[in-house]
């Protein structure tokens, strides 16, 4: 395979770097992979040098900082991507460059370039020194210390506070136990951490206590803690819930953009495992005062805001006021961080407080401050103009190869389509979730969630999900394909994410240059009579009692299935991909060919 130089750009984080278009280069990409460029070298009379014109350089003998370790450049690497891998943020690429300058320069010259262009070019085989992060010697104070300081400031400022809790909310279990009217298509690879808050003295009772809560007009909800460990995606999603989660239906839109791993402000050098604060309010004066108190508590550079604009949502503690829910998504831990993420979910290092100016009476439902509504914040703009649509011919070839690989079975196409309305249009149209009607069920402005219609999958049959790996195409930071049972119960059965799906299309397209940007995964009830192998998931039989695993007997029709394809946070825009830029995921349902009498 021809190896071309790997280009590094010093553009800011929101403008990702480009690399040369190399066959097979995507196989070495990490979560936020570099994007292929039409030309990775300034136009000259001669072509860009390759590893074929000179052997790969030997590991560098530079004398950089020896307090770290050494990382050898491979196909698909950039200084930014290696810095993300080592430090959790690509912004630290200059540390790698300075520590490895001699080796990087030597490699560039050995490939015929006059210089490395200040780190613009790096080559496979180059040894990079990785200095130990300075944060280890100047760690930020623990989150508990920030909380204690903040609570003292609240008392000194005439505020009153109430503490809540954070815990995983298992939608499958809650459905089986009868607490929810539907599982509502939860992501089985991403258990949701949900905030529980007490009610304000004197308020009207919440509909779904303690997971949903009303907010007084001059109140704030403040989350202080530590961000999750390294992973492909995390976010703090504020949503509005109108209706009963027990009986349904519910109106459930996102309140603005979430704070995610690409936008979060922390007290450390990375988005991962660092102290931070999140302030939720619709009141300008309250926000300003809470910011001052958090800054005085040591979190001045780590304050994130989630605005509840009174122009769109009904604040207050009365019966007609809207209710809110704060959920935390965590998905696809980086290799080596699996246990850390399990520990984070089991005991979230987070403290949640509802805070407000203290009134004179025991009934705390009346605002103390005069109205000062915050405006509706701007949303992050989706889409870059880049699309996956050029992959359509290869996708059609993949479809045919999948069909050809399974003689003895009849194939039926099941099309994926836009599953959920976007939050603000859906809020205005009052589009409720009432499975099998989706409504506003995406719950996050960071995601596109194409959904299949329900289909029958009896014993002896199997379904192949196929499409583009949206992370490999740089349309997402996290993507997955999930299967659900019973269109009304909408409980999750299994899922595979972009890391699981990487390279699976090569089972059917072994020689295709597009194969690594595609995927094909089989979910089977056919046993040994159907497909087998590492890219096949065996499903429980159609007659399985799904809720028995929770000690419950609520019925779930396991023979009826649906699929949801998720695509979260495009790296360039830090919000959902533009739906028009995606090739929608697809399904082929295979049933045994009928035998003639």
- What is the predicted pLDDT for the residue at 105? 82
Extended strands (E) in 192-273: 192-196, 220-226, 231-243, 250-251, 259-260
Span of 45-59, 291-305, 415-429, 459-473 with lowest mean pLDDT: 45-59
323: its two tokens: 């209710």
The DSSP line for 116-152 is -TTTTEE-TT-EEEEPPPGGGGSPPPPHHHHHHHHHH
Digit-coded pLDDT (tens) for 262-314: 999 999 999 999 999 999 999 999 999 999 999 999 999 999 999 999 999 99
Span of 39-53, 404-418, 478-492, 520-534 with lowest mean pLDDT: 39-53
Alpha-carbon distance of 116 to 57, in angstroms, equals 14
528: its two tokens: 């040994």
Alpha-carbon distance of 551 to 546, in angstroms, equals 10
Q: Residue 217 in 3-state DSSP?
A: coil
Mean pLDDT of the chain: 85
CB contact set of 30 (below 8 Å; sequence gap of 6+): 76, 81, 84, 85
Measured between its terminal Cα atoms, the distance across the chain in Å is 54
Look up the pTM and report it.
0.76
Alpha-carbon distance of 77 to 80, in angstroms, equals 8
Give yes or no for a contact between 559 and 456, defined as CB atoms under 8 angstroms apart: yes
130 pLDDT band (50/70/90 cuts)? confident
Rounded to the nearest 10 degrees, how much is the dihedral formed by the CA atoms of 42, 45, 51, 54?
A: -130
Digit-coded pLDDT (tens) for 134-152: 443 334 445 688 999 999 9
Q: Provide, rounded to the nearest whole percent, the portion of the chain with pLDDT above 70.
A: 83
Comparing 580 with 99, the larger pLDDT belongs to: 580
- What is the predicted pLDDT for the residue at 353? 97
Confidence check: pLDDT of 122 > 60: yes
């Amino acid at each position: 395979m021809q190896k071309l130089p790997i280009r590094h750009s010093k553009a800011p984080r929101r403008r990702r770097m480009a690399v040369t278009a190399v066959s097979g280069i995507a196989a070495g990409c990490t979560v936020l992979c570099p994007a292929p460029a039409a030309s990775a070298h300034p136009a000259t009379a001669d072509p860009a040098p390759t590893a074929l014109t000179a052997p790969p350089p030997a590991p560098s003998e530079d004398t950089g900082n020896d307090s770290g370790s050494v990382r050898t450049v491979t196909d698909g690497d950039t200084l930014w991507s290696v810095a993300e891998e080592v430090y959790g943020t690509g912004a630290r690429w200059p540390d790698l460059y300075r520590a490895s300058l001699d080796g990087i320069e030597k490699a560039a010259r050995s490939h015929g370039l006059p210089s490395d262009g200040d780190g613009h070019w790096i080559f496979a085989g180059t040894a990079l020194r990785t200095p130990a992060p300075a944060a280890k010697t100047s760690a930020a104070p623990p989150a508990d210390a920030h909380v204690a300081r903040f609570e003292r400031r609240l008392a000194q400022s005439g505020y009153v506070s109430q503490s809540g809790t954070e815990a995983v909310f298992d939608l499958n279990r809650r459905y089986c136990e009868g607490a929810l009217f539907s599982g509502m298509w939860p992501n089985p690879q991403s258990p949701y951490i949900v905030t529980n808050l007490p009610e304000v003295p004197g308020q009207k009772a919440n509909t779904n206590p303690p997971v949903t809560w009303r907010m007084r007009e001059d109140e704030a909800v403040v989350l202080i803690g530590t961000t999750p460990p390294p992973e492909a995606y995390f976010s703090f999603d504020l949503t509005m819930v109108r209706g009963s989660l027990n009986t349904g239906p519910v109106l459930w839109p996102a309140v603005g953009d979430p704070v995610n791993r690409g936008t979060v402000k922390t007290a450390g050098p990375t988005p991962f495992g660092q102290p931070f604060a999140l302030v939720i309010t619709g009141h300008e004066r309250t926000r300003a005062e809470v910011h001052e108190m958090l800054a005085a508590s040591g979190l001045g550079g780590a304050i994130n805001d989630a605005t509840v604009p009174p122009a769109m949502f009904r604040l207050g503690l009365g019966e007609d006021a809207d209710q809110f829910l704060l959920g935390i998504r965590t998905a696809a831990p980086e290799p080596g961080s699996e246990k850390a993420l399990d520990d984070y979910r089991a005991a979230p290092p987070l403290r949640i407080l509802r805070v407000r100016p203290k009134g004179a009476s025991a009934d705390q439902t009346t605002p103390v401050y005069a109205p000062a509504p915050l405006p509706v914040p701007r949303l992050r703009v989706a889409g870059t103009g880049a699309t996956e649509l050029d992959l359509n011919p290869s996708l059609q070839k993949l479809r045919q190869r999948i069909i050809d690989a399974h003689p003895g079975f009849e194939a039926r196409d099941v099309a994926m389509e836009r599953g959920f309305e976007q939050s603000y249009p859906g809020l205005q149209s009052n589009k409720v979730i009432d499975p099998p009607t989706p409504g506003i069920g995406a719950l996050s402005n960071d995601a596109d969630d194409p959904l299949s219609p329900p289909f029958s999958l009896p014993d002896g049959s199997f379904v192949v999900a196929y499409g583009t790996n949206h992370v490999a195409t740089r349309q997402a930071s996290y993507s997955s394909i999930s299967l659900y049972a019973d269109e009304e119960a909408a409980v999750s059965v299994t899922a595979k994410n972009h890391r699981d799906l990487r390279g699976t299309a090569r089972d059917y397209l072994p020689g295709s240059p597009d194969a690594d940007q595609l995927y094909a995964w089989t979910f089977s009830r056919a046993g040994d009579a159907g497909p087998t192998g590492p890219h096949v998931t065996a499903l429980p039989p159609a007659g399985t009692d799904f809720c028995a695993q929770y000690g419950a007997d609520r019925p779930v029709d396991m023979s009826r299935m649906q699929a949801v394809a998720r695509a979260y946070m495009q790296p360039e825009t830090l919000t959902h991909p533009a739906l028009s830029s995606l090739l929608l995921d697809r399904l082929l349902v295979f049933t045994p060919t009928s035998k003639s009498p």
